[in-house]
Amino acid sequence: MDAPTPEHELVDPKALAEAFGRRFGRRARVFFAPGRVNLIGAHLDYNGGPVLPLGVGRGTYVAVAPSGDGRCRLASRDLPGEFELDPSGRGEAEALGWAAYPVGVWKEMRSRGYEVGGFDLLVEGDLPRGGGLSSSASLEVATGTALAALFGLELDPVTLAEVGHRAENGFVGVQCGIMDQFASALALEGHALHLDCRTRSWRHVPLGAALEILILDSGKPRELVDSEFNRRVDQCREALGRLRRVRPGPEHLAGFTLAEVEAARAELGDLLFRRARHVVTEVARTELAVRALEAGDLALFGRLVRDSHESSARDYEVSCEELDHLVAKVCEVDGVYGARLTGAGFGGCVVALQRPGALGGEAREDLARTYRETFGRELRILRLEPGKAPRELPLR
């Protein structure tokens, strides 16, 4: 068994290919797809709203080669478990663990009529594990990119995203929206992705050199994320149903206005009212934030990001003490524009937006020390580069 890459260290594609050779006895090609961080638009993807994610310079790497016998063999350098499927592809997602994501992509491609055969795969990643940077979508897009290249298929980025999304919804069984797969598949260096999750229309928005992105890894596992995430989806579905009794038109919660939500407060009840209020106010914040970013108004952009966190914590209730502490403390640092939880919440990471180099030296040490003293956990801070598109990596 090859030694895994310590978390937060970058993956060496050549070393991954060499590890594949030792395990499977032949040469591999290596592909990469970025993880993502969502700057604003919390929990809007499955509610049909706008989001502003960007692909990052870290992500998932897959070394792959055709198996030659129709079978699929999957292993990882940094996750437990090895899996094998016969050419029929029989196997339940629950029994496959992390391998359900690449297997789901393989199954979805075959169901669409693409001629993809068996393959061997060795995966490794350099995203903070469980940090809300969408390692699952990164793995799906990396697998789709690899299988398309391996079997001579032409798949555009949107199709790759749709294949990954369908694999996660249909085979894995996670009722996520489209944001994560689109952010990975359509990543463009130096840009965020303004995506309308209802229409699937999108455009790239330049970030500019004056904005630096940090990830504060709380070290707190997102233990409630699956059950609570699915509960939020159900609550939003229920709120939508009640609001449509008042105005039948919108197909998604994001299609209602704040005035309509407030007018239906008695119909919704307190809990569903707060869930719906987060969604409709987050829609407005996100659209205003995109305009602020394009205008270079980073102070306004950061203020809206901070407001997004407050709404996520208060109305949507997906934060925790650790994330609230980090957002409050990092926003006190001169040159930090704003911060919010990223991903589904309940632990994981905070994204902070700053003037380049603002959180450094004594400010960084103070933040880490205060966090350690308060929660007994080590704080890890990463600077993220806006990532490049999914691609095959040279091994020379």
Chain position carrying tokens 């704080």: 379
Give dist(CA 181, CA 197) in Å, integer. 12
CB 50 within 8 A of CB 33: no
CB 125 within 8 A of CB 387: no
- The residues with which 216 forms a beta bridge, in sequence order, are 350, 381
Give dist(CA 57, CA 105) in Å, integer. 23
Give dist(CA 311, CA 282) in Å, integer. 8
Q: Just list the catalytic residues.
A: 180
CB 313 within 8 A of CB 97: no
Residue 269 φ/ψ region, left for φ over 0, alpha for ψ in the -120 to 50 degree band, beta for the rest: left
Give dist(CA 43, CA 279) in Å, integer. 8
Mapped onto helix, strand or coil, the DSSP state of residue 381 is strand
DSSP 8-state code for residue 128: P
User: Apex CA 207: angle with CA 201 and CA 209, to 5°?
Assistant: 165
Mapped onto helix, strand or coil, the DSSP state of residue 245 is helix
Q: Could you tell me whether strands 72-76 and 53-66 are parallel, antiparallel, or unpaired per DSSP bridges?
A: unpaired
In this structure, which long-range contacts are made by residues 231-237, counting pairs with CB atoms below 8 Å and at least 24 apart in sequence?
Answer: 232/43, 232/275, 232/316, 232/318, 233/46, 233/175, 235/271, 235/272, 235/275, 236/43, 236/46, 236/47, 236/275, 236/276, 236/279
Mapped onto helix, strand or coil, the DSSP state of residue 202 is strand
